[in-house]
């Protein structure tokens, strides 16, 4: 009797564990565009289009390879509307009693598959470099689960940029070389663009009709939607941008949305690219002498360090992790995150880019939109929901740890040893945003002062009981204590006035 082989929209890999376990001669592959997955948050239209188009092309490639694929499009009249519903419908159709699935990347779907009348075997997703059991063994007995030490273990395991047992160049990371401010100009034309073919155009028309009024611009649409295109995008990045990626990976520019970034995270998250082949290409460029060590190491760290670590933290911490709120922040997400007018140029440019591209790089997410939300005390659940809704690479296993943990410190320090907060000085140093802003980053208080400046000290003051003994923050509390009392009072008063106006819906 045939079994159903479930392939989800972020499992578009020929070496998927469920496909390896299947029998091509008798089993039936089930793939479905379902409303529940498209709408559990209001995803950016570009993301929905990317996933649906990539799914359709992957299903076609499986059919060409001889698989029996039962594919449901969103507008099919008999679409059950959910993954469990589609499995039950296909089971009735084929007589199958068992489902082989690769474990989903979100607790929500894992639990849904576990609660079905069919027998569902959820196999480990071994497309990642570290297994869940491997991480649990590493984490056992540790007081803190810092990424740096996990990353070093992954370097040793994979051999990437290693000289025997030692890191190449004698250092584990080259972060200090990767913090150059925004350059005068960028000599890279950006990630590779692909013209929509007939399959993609059909999906764009579908998304336009069904989700066109959601936040985000659908067109122009230029993403890779199959493995061949994704590999070309990787090659393009390694050849033309990787050599300067390290220097400027933290820089931000108002008129340069991509700088030297690869913009392939979604292709890895969907399964079109394997993280190993990405790291292989990056390491080879370094070994060939085409890429400096700081750029190669910095990129590989993002893949086998941060990406792997975030997934492991998500599963290690459990289903409640995305809704943690250690700092008890309750303020509602302000309309400026949805494009409402703001006089803060950095936020305006970051949101505008996010709306248009479904993309912003990690420092824009962490130190502009994330930093502002944390300083203002915005409910981390609303911040997490926003990140899930607006980015093309957003899946809960990666978004929750980056937002709840790294960006908002809502997990109480599981990921970060201190909150990632800063005044306007950091943004001014790392970007060209401040020169065109209504506010003055050099002005600390008073009319026209950069709001980040007073919000930073207000955050430090209101959370003093939690952070004043943190050795990484002691110096800043010393600076605060040395300020004259009337200056501290002015800062707190101006910050509270700003927050009141923000909550009232005033343009800030």
Tell me, what's the pLDDT at 177?
A: 86
Q: What is the mean pLDDT of each run of 10 residues along the chain (508 residues)?
A: 95 98 97 97 98 98 98 97 98 97 97 96 97 95 93 97 95 91 92 98 98 97 98 98 97 96 98 98 98 98 97 98 98 98 98 98 97 98 98 97 98 96 97 96 96 98 96 95 97 98 96
Q: Contact at 8 Å (CB) between 508 and 348?
A: no
Tell me, what's the pLDDT at 1?
A: 78
Residues 443, 439: Cα–Cα separation, whole Å: 8
- C-alpha 77: how far from chain center: 34
- C-alpha 133: how far from chain center: 23
DSSP label of 134: H
Tell me, what's the pLDDT at 237?
A: 98
DSSP tally for the chain: helices H, then strands E: 24, 7
Q: Contact at 8 Å (CB) between 337 and 351?
A: yes
User: pLDDT, tens digit, for every residue of 371-386?
Assistant: 999 999 999 999 999 9
Tokens 């990353």 map to which residue? Answer: 151
Maximum CA pair distance of the chain? 80
Residues 165, 156: Cα–Cα separation, whole Å: 7
132-190+241-312: CATH number: 1.25.40.80
Tell me, what's the pLDDT at 182?
A: 87
Q: Between 1.10.3720.10, 3.40.50.620, 3.40.1190.20, 3.30.70.1450, what CATH number should domain 4-123 receive?
A: 3.40.50.620
Q: What is the domain partition of the chain in residue ranges? A: 4-123, 132-190+241-312, 335-503
First CA to last CA distance, the chain: 64
Residues 121, 140: Cα–Cα separation, whole Å: 27
The pair phi, psi for residue 99, each rounded to 5°, is -125, 135
Q: Contact at 8 Å (CB) between 407 and 420?
A: yes
335-503: CATH number: 1.10.579.10
Contacts of 152 (CB under 8 A, 6+ apart): 167, 172
Tell me, what's the pLDDT at 501?
A: 97
Here the tokens at position 42 are 């209001």
- pTM here? 0.96
């Amino acid at each position: 009797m045939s079994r159903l082989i479930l392939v989800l929209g972020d499992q578009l890999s020929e070496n998927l564990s469920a496909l390896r376990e299947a029998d091509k001669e008798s089993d039936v592959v089930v793939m479905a565009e379902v409303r529940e997955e498209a709408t559990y948050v209001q995803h950016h239209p570009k993301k929905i289009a990317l996933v649906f188009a990539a799914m359709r092309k992957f299903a076609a490639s499986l059919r060409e390879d001889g698989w029996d694929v039962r594919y449901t499009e969103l507008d099919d009249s008999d679409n059950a509307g959910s993954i469990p519903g589609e499995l039950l419908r296909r089971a009735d159709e084929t007589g199958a009693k068992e489902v082989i699935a690769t474990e989903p990347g979100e607790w929500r779907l894992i639990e849904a598959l576990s609660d079905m009348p069919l027998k569902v075997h959820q196999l480990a997703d071994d497309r990642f470099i570290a297994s869940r059991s491997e991480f649990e063994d590493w984490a056992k007995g540790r007081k803190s689960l810092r990424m740096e030490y996990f990353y070093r273990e992954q370097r040793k395991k994979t051999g990437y940029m290693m000289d025997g047992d030692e890191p190449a160049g004698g250092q584990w990371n080259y972060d200090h070389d990767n913090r150059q401010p925004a350059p005068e100009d960028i000599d890279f034309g950006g990630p590779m663009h692909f013209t929509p073919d007939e399959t993609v155009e059909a999906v764009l028309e579908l998304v336009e009709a069904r989700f066109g009024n959601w936040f985000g611009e659908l067109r122009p649409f230029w993403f890779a939607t199959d493995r061949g295109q994704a590999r070309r995008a990787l090659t393009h990045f390694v050849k033309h941008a990787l050599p300067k990626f390290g220097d400027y990976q933290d820089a931000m520019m108002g008129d340069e949305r991509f700088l030297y970034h690869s913009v392939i995270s979604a292709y890895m998250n969907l399964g079109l690219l394997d993280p190993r082949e990405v790291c292989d290409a990056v390491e080879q460029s370094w070994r060939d002498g085409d890429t400096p060590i700081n750029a190669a190491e910095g990129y590989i760290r993002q893949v086998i360090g941060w990406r792997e670590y975030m997934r492991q933290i998500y599963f290690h911490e459990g289903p409640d992790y995305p809704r943690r709120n250690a700092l008890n922040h309750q303020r509602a997400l302000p309309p400026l995150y949805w494009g409402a007018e703001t006089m803060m140029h950095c936020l305006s440019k970051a949101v505008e880019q996010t709306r248009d591209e479904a993309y912003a790089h990690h420092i824009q997410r962490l130190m502009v939109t994330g930093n502002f939300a944390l300083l203002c005390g915005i409910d981390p659940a609303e911040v997490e929901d926003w990140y899930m809704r607006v980015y093309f690479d957003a899946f809960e296993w990666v978004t929750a740890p980056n937002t709840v943990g790294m960006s908002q410190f809502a997990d109480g320090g599981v990921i970060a040893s201190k909150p990632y907060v800063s005044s306007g000085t950091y943004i001014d140093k790392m970007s060209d945003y401040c020169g065109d802003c209504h506010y003055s980053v050099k002005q600390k208080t008073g009319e026209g002062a950069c709001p980040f400046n007073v919000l930073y000290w207000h955050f430090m003051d209101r959370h003093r009981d939690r952070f004043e003994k943190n050795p990484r923050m002691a110096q800043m509390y010393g600076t605060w204590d040395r300020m004259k009392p009337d200056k501290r009072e002015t800062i707190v008063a101006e910050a509270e006035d700003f927050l009141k106006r923000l909550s009232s819906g005033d343009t800030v």
